[in-house]
Structure 1
């Protein structure tokens, strides 16, 4: 079986100048964050990286490593309140997840909400790697405080693990102007012994910056690529949970994701219970 080259080689990341995590984090803090997402063929993603080489650095994690493997477990209520808020484009959208950076053994609890201007607000708490996929006492208190502050009437006690998302990510940053670009490959969504996998010929690109389109957005527009309303978590639930109403994300994802069942290969403790059928209202 032919093994595909790693993401760094496919995108030509060796050609970019490197930046440390501290430099990239400092750049990201320079401005209010608006996210735009694109599903991009691999050849256009490589053209984008080449087009940004003069203005952007690539996150270098030491010894030439320029990608990271991510594992993210998303939490939701039994009625899938987070999923519904996103599908129905509610003003108070929210996500709660634990994220593991596999090569580094780092784990964080993250809470994402929308502010009054529609921009993404994200807060994170470092936790032990052994707590990945869980919300113990300190993490639960962190989640409760942030959801209450955002006006979301949900507590950590009402949440349980819903979907796990895995992918490999490269991150670029314009250290001067504060915009960032992430490129995700080998993306898979896992639930109850079923997996939905992104076509290996595509990359999910996210631009993170201010209200005005960044250079990456303009380059993608010039290549004929338009932004899409897409959430990894919404994709996972929409494709893998029976009985959910059809939605725009599912229709888009079906063109780029392949779903398979392998229940027998997963231990029972890693299979989240199916939620109740979600009403469309």
Structure 2
């Protein structure tokens, strides 16, 4: 990663913003991740190397997210059941810059992730009337449904992220993941020798996906929100996330 050429945030947004994209998640052993990063950032790579997002000389950045859900965890259960009209609602804080965003993640007609976002300023939260109006407008326009009547902070996540970028492709690499239940208090921590790698592209498979498959790493049925809740609450019906949650969070992942 340190040898990778830098790329600015403005250029990332121009070349690979990918607010509508296909995502694949992998729980990658640290040694395999270093081999993957070396291959992708190799200056001799056909088509040019992936570059590392760099801001003020930094290549790793602290992220804090708060997910919002209904008292009955509608968002969690809609994802568990694979409903097409499903969504996640979160506040994201980029800790190193102080920037905050209100984000709504939807599923498009082809199964792609579609992200809608707007800035949060001052003491504003996603529960403020103006942001709830944005949520309502987004859900009505995309899905023709009404927003949830009640939302509460459900789960927080903290991690360190590095991002690799090429034209039309972005790879996020998250380490030190900690997830805390904001309703009951317990937390889980991802194994220190794993990196959560997510490939994001307008197509279905990237070079990174193919390299990981060649290294024997298969896609994981894993989202931070759902896998963490599955690990924190054994009584929740969450069979689809059990294997990945167990690998990520150890005994807490059942």
Q: TM-score, normalised by structure 1?
A: 0.82
The one-character-per-residue Cα deviations of 1:119-159 (angstroms, maximum 9, x if unpaired) are 11001101125335x42122111111112222163425421
Residue 66 of structure 2 corresponds to 73
Once the two structures are TM-superposed, the CA of residue 212 in structure 1 deviates from its matched residue by: 3.5
Listed as ranges, the matches of 1:6-45 within 5 Å are 13-29=1-17, 33-45=21-33
Alignment equivalent of 1:58, drawn from 52, 64, 69: 52
Instruction: Give the secondary structure class of the aligned counterpart of 1:50.
Output: helix
Residue 46 of structure 2 corresponds to none
The question of 1:213 aligning with 2:205 is answered yes
Where in structure 2 are there 5+ consecutive unaligned residues? Answer: 44-48
Q: What's the C-alpha RMSD, in Å, of the aligned pairs?
A: 1.9
> Quick check: 1:31–1:178 contact (8 Å CA) kept in 2?
no
The question of 1:46 aligning with 2:34 is answered yes
Alignment equivalent of 2:171, drawn from 171, 177, 181: 181
Number of matched residues?
244
Residue 277 of structure 1 corresponds to none
Alignment equivalent of 2:221, drawn from 229, 253, 260: 229
Inter-partner Cα distance in structure 1 for 2:87 and 2:132: 15
Instruction: Give the secondary structure class of the aligned counterpart of 1:15.
Output: coil
> Quick check: 1:31–1:210 contact (8 Å CA) kept in 2?
no
> Quick check: 2:105–2:116 contact (8 Å CA) kept in 1?
yes
The one-character-per-residue Cα deviations of 1:154-174 (angstroms, maximum 9, x if unpaired) are 425421111111111101100
> Quick check: 2:107–2:114 contact (8 Å CA) kept in 1?
yes
Instruction: Give the secondary structure class of the aligned counterpart of 2:225.
Output: helix
The question of 1:83 aligning with 2:72 is answered no
Listed as ranges, the matches of 1:49-198 within 5 Å are 49-53=37-41, 54=43, 55-62=49-56, 64-128=57-121, 130-131=123-124, 134-151=126-143, 153-155=145-147, 157-174=149-166, 177-191=167-181, 192-198=184-190
Once the two structures are TM-superposed, the CA of residue 47 in structure 1 deviates from its matched residue by: 0.8
Instruction: Give the secondary structure class of the aligned counterpart of 1:229.
Output: coil
> Quick check: 1:140–1:156 contact (8 Å CA) kept in 2?
no
Inter-partner Cα distance in structure 1 for 2:80 and 2:67: 16
Where in structure 1 are there 5+ consecutive unaligned residues? Answer: 1-12, 261-281
> Quick check: 2:190–2:248 contact (8 Å CA) kept in 1?
yes
Inter-partner Cα distance in structure 2 for 1:259 and 1:130: 38
